[in-house]
Homo-oligomer: A and B are copies of this chain.
Amino acid sequence: MARFTTEVALRWSDMDAFGHVNNNKYLVLLEEARVAMMFTVAEAAGVPGFRQGVVVARHEVDFLLPVTVPADVRVELWVERAGNASFTFAYELFADDKLALRAKSVMVPFDTVEERPRRLTAPERAFLARWDG
């Protein structure tokens, strides 16, 4: 029952003219959490394939609360599903410890040499299985 938890730093310019963090900026924050897991942590664990290429196939995002800067933001991330050639992240984003956003992303490993999707390897599946929510 593990989640990957990471703190992400808001920037003042994440706010738009309405004075709230703009909806598209949350996607950047979620990307930071994914990158920390899939690139940095995975590579340190001997699983470098994601850094070499992985694309987003789908996002679903529910915005629950507006956020203003400054706020302490924490993203909790886990793997909801891992198939042969894709997997699904689920996220909860907390601002000052209040749940502000829920999201899911369908991810596809991508072979950037062949320029096409590829299957997950066994070590990748084992790595993803650690973060089971």
By a beta-carbon cutoff of 8 Å, the part of chain A in contact with chain B is 8-9, 11-13, 15-20, 22-25, 27-28, 31-32, 35, 39-40, 53, 55-63, 66, 69-70, 112
Contacts and interface: CB of A to CB of B under 8 A. Distances in A.
Contact of A17 (B17, B28, B59): B17
Nearest to A66: B55
Contacts of A24: 13, 24-25, 27-28, 31
Contacts of A18: 53, 55, 112
A63 B56 contact: yes
A61 B63 contact: no
Given A12-B39, A18-B112, 17 more contacts: A11-B28, A12-B17, A12-B31, A13-B22, A13-B28, A15-B17, A16-B17, A17-B17, A18-B53, A20-B55, A23-B31, A23-B56, A24-B25, A40-B70, A56-B63, A59-B61, A60-B60
